[in-house]
Structure 1
């Protein structure tokens, strides 16, 4: 049986998830590719995130990460995908979306997309580190929990 392939779509983590994944020996057997989409234009061009979603909800939103994870699945050989978008700081936060706000989405080619918002504290590096850890942990939990839509 062939391993399930993973694709990632990262914004605030800037490829850190891909770095963590490829540090694992043998990851070429299950990691297809990572999209680093830091700008809104990159999210639109590489993942198909709609301009209307970005304009209405912003880059750091549930709607955006759900479109990012769907785009990662569509534009890769992945059967599983993780998307992350957040505000790592020190600037860029608002009252509605303070520094440390990070949205995650996990998707599976034969299943549903789930999403979650988390708030992390610390400096820019610490917020990003926690986002990478949370994203990968969430992926593992969903794989173990059977959220991939596989029978």
Structure 2
């Protein structure tokens, strides 16, 4: 009797474990998503008071929003977030002028399909002070990851 019970328990255990085998096609059962990506382009020379166009190319044609935030790298001047206008499929632009010389940071705020990104790029407007040149050569502080939800 003990022998039969052991065999039955072994058969039950083997059957249960066989159901846990990895399905080789399991990855096809899940939705595959491509993360949202953006590139930011603008002229190499930006002059104070002269309009400049910032062009944003997204990997998605229909984002929920595309904003551009412009500020001096030292935090003394901010132009806030401004909505970029659609100029083509997946391409957005914002034309503005910056009133002061200095080292600036342009940060894109974009969202599509639940993916939100905040890529940033430094640029120079006009002339830099010695302190700004030093900060540029020493390497600017790393851009902090934004973990809070967009407004």
Query: Which interval holds the TM-score relative to the shorter structure?
Result: 0.3 to 0.5
Please state which structure has a larger fraction of its residues in strand: 2
TM-score (norm 1): 0.33
Please state which structure has a larger fraction of its residues in helix: 1
TM-score (norm 2): 0.33
